[in-house]
Structure 1
């Protein structure tokens, strides 16, 4: 039998359906979503989004008007706002410029959302098809959580490590 480099023959990796549920009903988004989500207000300065993302190592921030989800800002949106080069240098001029821009000027509206009882596999499929890194989880028009591609990958790794 030919040798295979880097292949672990002792354990078969679970399929997506096996991973998200482990024999029970398929795992729901509310089981792995982040429930305490940092948010921005539409009138916050862009510099605040940059600080939260950098310090919290966060890539997506939902934008709210009161308690209602109205948009989302991602690292990509910061780059698209023509600040990509300046963000890397954190110069005083960049900081001053970021204080003049507000979240409402760069946020993406018409955000795709999901309810908390959505299956993780379905949420993952939506993120892949829409080429987005997160889905805000909304119930009764209120933001109750956020699921990201990282959350899905972390859960998959947990399932792979189970005996």
Structure 2
């Protein structure tokens, strides 16, 4: 018990450190738009969506299986967009924010019972969308100004016709050569946490501060990086159930966050060109790169940072 308290105190301190079961139907929606705008040239048209009646666990399993950070929720009959569930919603549900009341209050902390509630209980209903006639510039403007990582594309009847993400826009814009260096656009003054910090503490920090990821630092050395998707996959792969003996969510949220990280750490350096950084992200399918100098973490560059830089916003 004393050791666990020490870990939590360490995590709280490090977070303030500045740093240099029923799956249900899955719908595959493919639609050719008669009058296309520029966005459809970079968007995903074969959109996987699920109905609001699908269970939370099945929705998270779907996202994990396909490597999604967001999943549109549509009516089974009309295919009209009703909401979206994201990796952030999943960590909110696991203990990060208001969605956790579904577990803590309604099901008295029993995760096994709560995960079979319908996904409508945790989905975001007020979704920012764009029309299929939008330009890439329109999408970029919304992503940069509203800090939204992905936008469902709908037609005049609110039927889902595609989805476009930060990664899609970054890929399109990164074809333009630039002499901008990573150090010019990276985020600094980072919040970090330690590898022994409980998962529950990390989820609360992510939701409270709007983070998608947190670097793990121990003795001034970067140990890894944990993202909202990593935590979601913990549930979606079924790994959480191997560690769950009582059904109480507190049991698994007390485990150290290091148990969620892989051994591979993909980084960049401050004098790297942002075109090279974008290419590395695309090749390795990661949303951020820790920036390392002299063996120390000095910053973080994300897909959002790159979209903003390439667009000149």
Return the TM-score normalized by structure 2.
Answer: 0.41
Whole-Å Cα distance in 2 between the matches of residues 70 and 123 of structure 1?
20
The match for 1:118 is: 272
The match for 2:261 is: 107
Whole-Å Cα distance in 1 between the matches of residues 257 and 134 of structure 2?
47
1:16 to 1:78, Cα distance in 2 relative to 1, 3 A: closer
Does the Cα contact within 8 Å between 2:266 and 2:290 map onto a contact in 1? yes
1:40 to 1:108, Cα distance in 2 relative to 1, 3 A: farther
Structure 2 unaligned regions, length at least 5? 1-34, 38-132, 136-171, 241-247
- 1:109 Cα shift? 2.7
Residue-by-residue CA offset, 1:39-72 (whole Å, 9 max, x unaligned): 1101111112101211122111111111101111
The match for 2:218 is: 65
- 1:29 Cα shift? 0.4
Structure 1 unaligned regions, length at least 5? 9-13, 87-92
Residue-by-residue CA offset, 1:21-41 (whole Å, 9 max, x unaligned): 4xxxx1000011001111110
Flag the structure with larger Rg.
Answer: 2
Equivalent residues in 2 for 1:54-93 (5 A)?
A: 54-82=207-235, 93=248
The match for 1:35 is: 188
The match for 1:148 is: 302
Residue-by-residue CA offset, 1:112-145 (whole Å, 9 max, x unaligned): 1111000001000000000000100000000000
- Which structure is higher in RCO with an 8 Å CA cutoff and minimum separation 6? 1
1:84 to 1:95, Cα distance in 2 relative to 1, 3 A: farther
1:76 to 1:16, Cα distance in 2 relative to 1, 3 A: closer
SS of 1:70's equivalent in the other structure is: strand
- 1:97 Cα shift? 3.0
Whole-Å Cα distance in 2 between the matches of residues 72 and 98 of structure 1?
18
SS of 1:117's equivalent in the other structure is: coil
* Moved segments of 4+, more than 3 Å: 3-8, 14-18, 83-86
SS of 1:41's equivalent in the other structure is: coil
- 1:98 Cα shift? 0.5
Tell me the matched-pair count: 142
Does the Cα contact within 8 Å between 1:41 and 1:64 map onto a contact in 2? yes
